[in-house]
Structure 1
């Protein structure tokens, strides 16, 4: 039994280095791809959230209890991106 194990170890040893090399680089590539995908998705989400116009609307109160006097249920959410009641603030000092 030990003779068979020794034979298998010595015959597979030349193949272990390339196999481990490929596996290590595949692992590093998978981590890099995962990080790249996370950063890309984060940037896309940030761009989409920066399109929310609520803070520049005259109906936005800034109070956490009532954020918007017209549509409080969608204030500061993605549903407010195309809000039909959006009116820009007329006083630029209120920004």
Structure 2
């Protein structure tokens, strides 16, 4: 049994370096692609979140209990991007 294992190891040995080379580069490329995809998705999400107009609306209260006096259920969510009740603050320095 030991001779069979020794024979297999010596038979595979010339192929180990190329196999390890390919596996190492594959893992490296997959890690870079994963990081790139995560960064791209983060930028897309950030761009969408910056479209939420709630902080510039006159009905936004900056209170964690009641964020919006008109539509509190959608305040600071993606649903508020095209809110029909949005009114810009008349004096942004008031609050």
TM-score after normalising by structure 2? 0.92
Number of equivalences: 95
1:15 alignment partner in structure 2:
15
Deviations 1:15-39 (A, max 9, x none): 0100011001111111111111111
RMSD value, Cα: 1.2
Aligned to 2:52: 52
TM-score normalized by the length of structure 1 = 0.92
- 1 CA distance for matches of 2:92 and 2:75? 21
Gap regions ≥5 residues in structure 2: none
**Deviation beyond 4 Å, 4+ runs, structure 1:** none
Q: Which residue of 2 aligns with 1:64?
A: 64
Distance 2:71 2:15 in 1: 66
